[in-house]
Amino acid sequence: MEFNRNTKDFSSGRREFLKKSGLVTAAMSFPFSVLPESLNGVPMGVVVHSYGNRYGSKVESTKYPGFQNAVDFMRHCHSIGAGGIQTLVSGWSDDFARKVRDERENLGMYLEGSIGLPKNEVDISRFENEVLSAKEAGVNVLRTVCLSGRRYENFNSEKEWNEFKINATKSLQLAEPIVRKHKVKLAVENHKDWKAIELAQLIQSLDSEWVGVTLDFGNNISLLEEPIEAIRTLAPFAFSTHVKDMGVKAYLDGFLLSEVPLGSGIVDLKEAVTLCQKYNPAVTFSLEMITRDPLQIPCLEERYWTTFENPSAQDLAKILRLIRDNSYPDSLPEVKNLSAEEKLAFEEENVLKCLAYSKSQLL
């Protein structure tokens, strides 16, 4: 079925997903207008990508020693007051999965995994083994992505984009019976690939209570979607989240986009949290504060538009106005001129600022 966001078909499909996934009963139990700030009292967790510099780091640092595995990462996040983690599960042995489980239970934290989709039938066994390892450790939601890069950088033609869509759908169709069999939810991130409505349609086409969304609060700005509009579209399907705030600034070929400390960017975080809790009161909120140089979104270059059908000048004007009216007041964060130790220190500072904001303003 072809869904349109403004039609009864889309609303009906969304309601059916909520019903099947078990979210509708919970949502109806908590009227939107009276939702408390945190329904389950779980502090914000941390996504492993928030420590892209420190995870696996070989830098000789006494203050910021590298995390060598998920247990190191979990222990540190617990020490700074995080409620849980979302981390990679690839390559875990049975013994290590049990070690992660024991540590999680000891620390009283939630645990979500991050997993790669099966590329083909041969890859199903790898995928199922990782699902089983994650489940052994106590994971009940696995985040995944359909594209490791970015739509406007990876594809040179509409044909390449259409091939990607076919392959991504096949991968999810291969994954769905496995997660259904083992009763682990699979959550597809809006990862600078799908526009919000495209991902919503994809999830609905799979028609499974076990496949939903990891809702990233900021990624779809890169696809010229206002963050709150993308969040409103995808919140009904959210099994997990990547909480972030985004700063923007114009540059010659479009605009710059950067993760910034929570509360200092253009994402309406309070509405985003409330919407997610409305549809899934048990949803966890996991910080993805990536410390890096700003991303260039070259939306004024012709190549950017290669994969977009019927591009709207109105949508472009809307996002350019948003950038003009909400330009980040300071320089966007950069790491290119920092030493290795300085990068680690800046990363830790950003995570701590975000957790403090979450505790005082969100959860």
Mean pLDDT of 157-180: 98
Q: Is residue 106 part of a domain?
A: yes
Domain membership of residue 244 (yes or no) is yes
Residue 151 lies in a domain: yes
Give the model's pLDDT for residue 246: 98
pLDDT higher than threshold 90 for residue 7: no
Looking at residue 9, its pLDDT comes to 64
Asked if residue 145 belongs to a domain, the reply is: yes
* pLDDT at position 26: 52
Does 358 have pLDDT greater than 90? yes
Pairing outcome for strands 211-216 and 185-189:
parallel
Q: Which structural domain range is residue 16 located in?
A: 8-362
Kindly report the pTM of this predicted structure.
0.91
User: How far is C-alpha 217 from the chain's CA centre?
Assistant: 7
What pLDDT is recorded for position 311? 84
User: How much is the pLDDT for 310?
Assistant: 85
Three-state secondary structure readout of 122-191:
HHHHHHHHHHHHHHHHCCCEEEECCCCCCHHHHCCCHHHHHHHHHHHHHHHHHHHHHHHHHCCEEEEECC
In a domain, 136, yes or no: yes
Is residue 3 domain-resident?
A: no
The CA distance from 55 to 344, in Å, is 10
Each as own residue / partner, the long-range contacts of residues 229-232 (CB below 8 Å, 24 or more positions apart, any chain) are 229/196, 230/190, 230/195, 230/196, 231/271, 231/272, 231/275, 231/276, 232/275
- The predicted pLDDT at position 36 comes to 35
Q: Model confidence over 191-207: pLDDT tens digits?
A: 999 999 999 999 999 99
The pLDDT of residue 31 is above 60: no
CATH code of the domain in which 45 resides = 3.20.20.150
Spatial CB neighbours of 176, under 8 Å, sequence gap ≥ 6: 186, 206, 208, 210, 211
Query: Could you give the number of structural domains in the chain?
Result: 1
Q: What is the tens place of the pLDDT at every residue in 102-122?
A: 999 999 999 999 999 999 999
Residue 1 domain-assigned? no
Residue 80 maps to a domain: yes
Q: Quick one: pLDDT band at residue 123, thresholds 50, 70, 90? A: very high
Reported in sequence order, the residue ranges of the chain that DSSP labels E, i.e. its strands, are 45-47, 84-88, 110-114, 141-144, 185-189, 211-216, 238-242, 245-251, 254-260, 286-287, 295-297
Residue 67 pLDDT > 80: yes
The least confident of 16-25, 150-159, 198-207 is: 16-25
Note the pLDDT tens digit of each residue in 226-280. Answer: 999 999 999 999 999 999 999 999 999 999 999 999 999 999 999 999 999 999 9
- Residue 13's CB: how many other CB atoms inside 10 A? 20
Q: Residue 125: which pLDDT band, with cuts at 50, 70 and 90?
A: very high
**Residue 34 pLDDT exceeds 80:** no
**What pLDDT shows up at residue 39?**
40
